[in-house]
Structures are given as C-alpha cells and as structure tokens.
C-alpha cells in the first residue's frame, strides 16, 4: 500500500489508523455489532473538526476511543497529548444546581477539585446565568442549559479537546461569544473535535468536517464540501425521499478516499 504523501507526520495531533470497534450483541450467542468500521483520520494543531452523522453512526464511540476511555477492537490510535473529553449530556445531572454541575463537569474532564474551584468563577461569569446558577438545572430554559454546557466544556484549554455533543449556544449575542471562545482554543494551537447532528453548529465552530455513516467515514475535507451535502442528505431523509438520500450517500462513498497511513512504528521514527 502506498503512503499518502499529503500527510505531515511531524505535525500530527491525532493519528487514527484502520480502527474498528465491535460489541457483542444481546441477541444470539456470537452475534456482534460493529460501531466503527476501519476508520482512518489525522488531525493537526489549529484544526477544529466537526464530526457529522445521525444517531448510531459511530461518532461518540470514535471520540471515546481517541480519548482513551474505550479500547479499539483493531487498528491503532496515537495522540500528541492526553485529550480532554466532555460528554456533557452524560456528565451533568438535571436535579443538581448549576453550581454543582460546574464542578461535576470539570471533574468529568479530568480536572482536580482544586482546578475546578479555580475555574468556577470564570465558568459562571461566561455562562451569564446570574443567580440561576444556584437553581437546579431542570429549571433552566434550553438556552440557559446550552450556555452552561458550553462554558464548562471550553473552560480548560487542552491541546486536544473532544466535545461529544452539538453545542447550541442560545441567543445571537452568546453565539458570538462562543465563536470567539472557540477561536481562542485554536489560537493556542489546539485541536478541537466537535460531534454534531447538523451542519449549522459545525459552520459556527469548525474549519474542517468529517461525515460518519453506519460506522464508516464517507467524507473528510473542507467544511462546506462535507457540511453542504450532509445537510441536503438530512433534508431528503427527513422528507422521506429515500432514493435521493441514498444517492447522496453513494456519491460520497464513491468520491471519498481514505488516507493511506504509515504504521505507528514508522510514524514514531518520522
């Protein structure tokens, strides 16, 4: 297999080569479910990568493997530094106050209690919740909850940040703050992976996009070359125009060329 000459191995932050993940199903003995199928990708410092795909496409599984929280079934993953993963929906508790959830979210990202205390005030100020920070999250509007989740998830500035949800950010004023915040992350030469179901959030926060479908990557490239056909596919799917939707998937698969990557031992010596 020839090696992809466009890959700059000296500047990689995430290296994913031929990675698959299978689970044993709860059905007949020996049945397996493939969540991720032979995925390869690379990322560089300064990239903000949106991972698009509907539920069950393998996005969250891929992020957990990159973070090291889940093992691969086959293939290999290398990272330049320890990624920070926040799956906010799983970490935060609606019956707890916003204040308690700030600390819970920080701990979920791997901070020490002391680090969480240090960043607490900045997170609360950024979320613009005022006295509501002392109310349970289940009393928040959707916009208030979105602001708090975004403030927590971007409170630390790791080299590799993995955000396992589409971060809606409330009103237009806060969306501008959120975009500036993402820009700050990139300005620190970091790499951001952001999982989303729609192209809108990706356009606001990312400069690169990956499309996952049924466990496979079927698109990897510049923002609009992936987000635009993805949004059209989603509209056709929602309108039950199945043949048109299937045709878009087939076209994406036809034009997608996965990167041909070195072995990890070769990368280390590059």
CA 116, CA 26: separation in Å to the nearest integer? Answer: 39
Task: Find, among 198, 224, 218, the residue nearest to 58 by Cα.
Answer: 218
pLDDT of residue 270: 56
Helix, strand, coil share (%) of the chain residues, nearest 5: 45, 25, 30
Q: Looking at residue 49, what is its pLDDT?
A: 94
Beta strands in the chain (DSSP E): 12-24, 32-44, 48-52, 74-79, 84-86, 160-163, 191-196, 208-213, 216-222
Pairing of strands 74-79, 48-52: unpaired
| pTM for this model (two decimals) | 0.79
Domain ranges within the chain, ordered by starting residue: 89-156
Average of per-residue pLDDT values in the chain: 88
Phi and psi at residue 151, to the nearest 5°: -60, -40
Whether residue 188 has pLDDT greater than 80: no
Confidence of residue 258 (pLDDT cuts 50, 70, 90): very high
| Of 106-115, 187-196, 208-217, the least confident | 187-196
Confidence of residue 218 (pLDDT cuts 50, 70, 90): very high
For the chain, first and last CA: distance in Å? 18
- Tokens representing 86? 């926040």
Q: What is the mean pLDDT of residues 30-34?
A: 83
The residues facing 220 across adjacent strands are: 210
């Amino acid at each position: 297999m020839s090696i992809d000459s466009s890959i700059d191995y000296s500047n990689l932050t995430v290296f994913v080569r031929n990675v698959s993940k299978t689970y044993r199903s709860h059905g007949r003995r020996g049945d397996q479910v493939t969540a991720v199928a032979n995925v390869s990708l690379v990322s560089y410092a300064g990239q903000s990568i949106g991972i698009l795909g509907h539920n069950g496409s393998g996005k969250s599984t891929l992020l957990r493997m990159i973070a090291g929280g889940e093992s691969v079934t086959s293939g290999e993953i290398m990272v330049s530094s320890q990624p920070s993963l926040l799956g906010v929906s799983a970490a935060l508790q609606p019956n707890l106050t916003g204040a308690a959830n700030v600390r819970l979210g920080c701990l979920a990202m791997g901070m020490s209690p002391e680090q969480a205390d240090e960043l607490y005030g900045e997170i609360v100020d950024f979320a613009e919740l005022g006295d509501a920070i002392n109310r349970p999250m289940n009393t928040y509007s959707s916009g208030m909850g979105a602001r708090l989740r975004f403030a927590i998830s971007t409170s630390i500035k790791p080299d590799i940040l993995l955000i396992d949800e589409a971060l809606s950010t409330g009103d237009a004023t806060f969306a501008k703050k959120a975009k500036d915040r993402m820009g700050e992350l990139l300005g620190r030469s970091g790499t951001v992976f952001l999982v989303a179901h729609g192209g809108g959030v990706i356009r606001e926060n990312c400069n690169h996009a990956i499309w996952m479908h049924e466990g496979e990557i079927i698109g990897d490239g510049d923002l609009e070359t992936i987000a635009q056909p993805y949004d059209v596919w989603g509209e056709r799917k929602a309108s039950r125009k199945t043949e048109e939707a299937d045709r878009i998937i087939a076209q994406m698969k036809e034009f997608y060329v996965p990167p041909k990557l070195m072995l990890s031992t070769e990368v280390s010596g590059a």
